[in-house]
Structure 1
Amino acid sequence: MESGLNFIDLILEASVLVQLVMLTLVGMSIASWAIIFQRRSVIAEAQSDARKFEQQFWSGMDLGKLYNEITARSGSSKGLEALFVAGFKEFARHKKNNTGSANMILDGTHRSMRVALSREVEKLESSLSFLATVGSISPYIGLFGTVWGIMNAFIALGNVKQATLQMVAPGIAEALIATAMGLFAAIPAVMAYNRFAKHVEKLEVNYANFMEEFANILHRQAATLVESKTNVSA
């Protein structure tokens, strides 16, 4: 209890600049923890949605029926569903207009899915840059507060004839608190960033693999469609 009081007293007795440094670090820590919990939920949901959609996609269900089911739902599609909707929509447009070769149709669907892929990855990476920033600059902000506090402690010693450890210790201790708070803000942010970045990378690879597999399916259907159109014309 006494050590807790001493800790609080050290913060309250610190210089205004050191207190501002501590307040900044506390704010950055709170913001990073909020982002950590929010990103954890978003990425876990994306992983779950990807598994569910892949099971549904590879169940042998008619692609047109699957497309109608997804587009009939309220709200926009996301994840693998967004890639599927973008690709199938473009494919259906070419099929309806009955234009272009199989390669031309595939190029159009591929472009649509690549745009959708970029958007989905961007959503997953949202706010991760803030965690990286907190992890990289927090120790330096804390170190700045420490250097400033120690400098003030030694300046105060110049006004006394005999310096003792008891006189300098509180000033050094309150300065070192800034470094500790900087590390407290940085370590969880760095760990969370590395973990989330790894999950996002795996999801991106999963999305890209699905995109290629789906493109191959559409290419076969497009080739069949063009071949049947050629036979009818002949």
Structure 2
Amino acid sequence: MDHAVDAANLGVAAAGDLSLWGLFMQASIVVKFVMIGLIGSSIGVWAIVFNKIVTMRRIEKQAAAFEDKFWSGGNLDDLYETEGAKPTHPLAAVFGAAMGEWRRSARIPGIDLIHGGVQERVDRAMNITITREMDRLERWMIFLATIGPVAPFIGLFGTVWGIMHSFSSIAAMHNTNLSVVAPGISEALFATAIGLVTAIPAVIAYNVINNSLARFQDRLDGFGTEFAAILSRQSEERS
């Protein structure tokens, strides 16, 4: 009877040792650092994902509203004063850069708006603005691109170290019983699991967000090309 009670208590202790918190607490200091680093990276990944989703939804909505105003046939100078002079989103910034350069050139006495290099300066201003705005939107994407492929290997390092720790326990206790081996193997696999849980969302998020950013850049490039054509026609009409 006593043996049965002892076996039951051993089973309870083993189950407690194999809980997530128990695995963390009984892990070696190296594996703990690996787990903490991966958990911190996972929190960073989700923070970036949330920020990018909110940002992309906001700028897409702002871009749609701006395009409605732009193609409504209103005065471009008025639109510049209200939207382009102090832009609050990327599309307005591209418009403001081009319109500002064109207006400055138009005020120069005797300048030829068609052959005076104005179109080249307008195109350059838009390209620089697009690059600057995309650099701002792509901030922290390198973190996702790095964590995705690296996190599994960090988890694997924790796994290898945990298995080494488990074998050391076996050698020290001269006992290959499952109750001796299981905690070390479990903490090793736990490190791998955390690495995968960190890496998989990072890879998926990077691909999805990067695709959204590429589409938005195409939208900026398309708007820049169309706006450059409009300014070119207006230059010809003034000449």
Give the TM-score, by structure 1 length.
0.90
98-107 vs 88-97, which moves further? 98-107
How far has the Cα of 1:88 moved from its partner?
A: 0.5
Q: Please give the per-residue CA displacement for 1:181-225, whole angstroms capped at 9, x wherever unaligned.
A: 011111111111111101000000010000000000001111222
**Counterpart check, 1:78 vs 2:81:** no
Report the counterpart of residue 134 of structure 1 in structure 2: 147
Matched, 1:209 2:222: yes
Aligned to 2:48: 35
Distance 1:170 1:43 in 2: 44
* 1:165 Cα deviation after fit: 2.5
Match of 2:104 among 82, 93, 103: 93
What amino acid is aligned across from residue 117 of structure 1 in structure 2?
I
Cα distance, 1:3–1:53 mapped onto 2, change above 3 Å = farther
Instruction: Report how far residue 148 of structure 1 moved.
Output: 0.4
> Equivalent residues in 2 for 1:1-20 (5 A)?
6-20=19-33
Q: Which runs of 5+ in 2 are unaligned?
A: 1-14
SS of the residue aligned with 1:148?
helix
TM superposition shift of 1:5: 7.1
The answer on 1:195 being equivalent to 2:205 is no
* Structure 1: distance between partners of 2:17 and 2:144: 29
Alignment of 1:174 with 2:187, yes or no, is yes
Does structure 1 residue 110 correspond to structure 2 residue 123?
Answer: yes
Is residue 2:39 matched to residue 1:26?
yes
For structure 1, the 5+ residue unaligned runs are 228-234
Task: State the match for 1:230 in structure 2.
Answer: none
Please report how far the alpha carbon of residue 3 of structure 1 lies from its aligned counterpart in structure 2 after TM superposition.
6.6
Judge conservation of contact 1:105–1:222 (CA < 8 Å) in 2: no
What is the CA deviation profile of residues 46-101 of structure 1, one whole-angstrom value per residue up to 9, with x for unaligned ones? Answer: 111111111111110111111112256xx543211001000011000111114234
Question: What displacement does 1:170 show?
Answer: 1.2
Report the counterpart of residue 232 of structure 1 in structure 2.
none
Give the 4+ runs in structure 1 shifted more than 6 A.
2-5
Distance of aligned partners of 1:169 and 1:4 in 2 relative to their CA distance in 1, 3 Å threshold: closer
CA distance in 1, matches of 2:26, 2:181: 13
| Count of matched residue pairs | 224
Is 2:69 the counterpart of 1:56?
yes
Structure 2 contact 27–162 (Cα < 8 Å) conserved:
yes
Deviation at 1:32, TM superposition (A): 1.3
Cα distance in 2 for residues equivalent to 1:6 and 1:33:
25
Question: Are 2:111 and 1:123 equivalent residues in the alignment?
Answer: no
Q: Which amino acid aligns with 2:235?
A: A
Aligned equivalents of 1:160 and 1:83: distance in 2? 70
Contact 1:94 1:100 in 2 (8 A): no
